[in-house]
């Protein structure tokens, strides 16, 4: 009987410990922030620096006190990253840092990070065409125009576009 009680107590203690651990998991509100350019970033403890999502858990301290690399955020990477910092690709097996969305680059591999109304059309630094390389989606950087290498299916990068 004593043995069972001790076992039950241990289980109870484990449940309580788990609940406490899970209870501590939610992220403190106000830590995460939209940056001035409307990208989701990570607000450092000084409440002044807001670093891009992809600098969180990259093994380099970008906040003054290194809170972007703390165990609570990075201990179970990528699951421990808050949803604010993550974009799920169409293929739910893949994810990217939120700041890689709408940056012109095919980070998901299927361009799902570059689709939708959230993403602006090709900016002035980009040339609109169907790229031949997987790294781009619907535009290529203008610096690749007239560089002697085909980047657009229709060759417009070599014959129409100007850098
Ligand atoms: Ca970092
Ligand atoms: Ca992208």
Ligand 1 centroid distance, CA of 66 (Å) = 7
Ligand closest to CA 65: 1
Name the residue ranges covered by the structural domains of the chain.
27-102, 121-163
Lowest mean pLDDT among 31-35, 41-45, 57-61, 107-111: 31-35
pLDDT digits (tens, 9 = 90+) for 87-140: 999 998 999 999 999 999 999 999 999 998 888 888 889 999 999 999 999 999
pLDDT digits (tens, 9 = 90+) for 13-34: 787 777 666 654 444 434 455 5
Ligand closest to CA 59: 1
- Return d(Cα 138, Cα 114) in angstroms, integer: 8
Integer CA distances (angstroms), 79 to 4, 8, 21, 51, 95, in order: 36, 31, 15, 19, 11
Mean pLDDT (the chain, rounded) = 85
Ligand 1 centroid distance, CA of 58 (Å) = 5
Ligand closest to CA 52: 1
The CATH-assigned architecture of domain 121-163 is Irregular (4.10)
Ligand 2 centroid distance, CA of 4 (Å) = 56
What is the band of 57 on the pLDDT scale with cuts at 50, 70, 90?
A: very high
Share of the chain above pLDDT 90, in %: 57
Q: Which residue has the higher pLDDT, 134 or 4?
A: 134
Report the pLDDT value the prediction gives residue 15, as an integer from 0 to 100. 77
Lowest mean pLDDT among 12-21, 43-52, 139-148: 12-21
Lowest mean pLDDT among 22-31, 76-85, 142-151: 22-31
Ligand 2 centroid distance, CA of 158 (Å) = 24
Report the pLDDT value the prediction gives residue 20, as an integer from 0 to 100. 67
Report the pLDDT value the prediction gives residue 28, as an integer from 0 to 100. 46
Omega prior to 78 cis, within 30 of 0: yes
Ligand 1 centroid distance, CA of 40 (Å) = 15
């Amino acid at each position: 009987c004593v043995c069972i009680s001790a076992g039950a107590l241990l289980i109870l203690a484990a449940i309580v410990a788990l609940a406490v651990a899970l209870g501590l998991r939610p992220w403190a509100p106000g830590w995460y922030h939209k940056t001035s350019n409307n990208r989701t970033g990570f607000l450092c403890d000084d409440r002044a620096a807001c670093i891009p999502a992809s600098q969180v858990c990259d093994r380099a301290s970008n906040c003054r006190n290194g809170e972007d690399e703390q165990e609570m955020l990075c201990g179970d990477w990528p699951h421990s990253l808050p949803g604010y910092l993550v974009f799920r690709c169409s293929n739910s097996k893949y994810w990217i840092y939120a700041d890689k969305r709408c940056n012109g680059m095919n980070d998901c591999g299927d361009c799902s990070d570059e689709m939708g109304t959230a993403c602006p059309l090709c900016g002035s630094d980009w040339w609109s065409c169907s790229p031949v390389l997987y790294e781009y989606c619907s535009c290529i950087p203008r610096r690749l125009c007239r560089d002697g290498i085909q980047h657009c299916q229709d060759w417009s990068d070599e014959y129409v576009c100007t850098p």
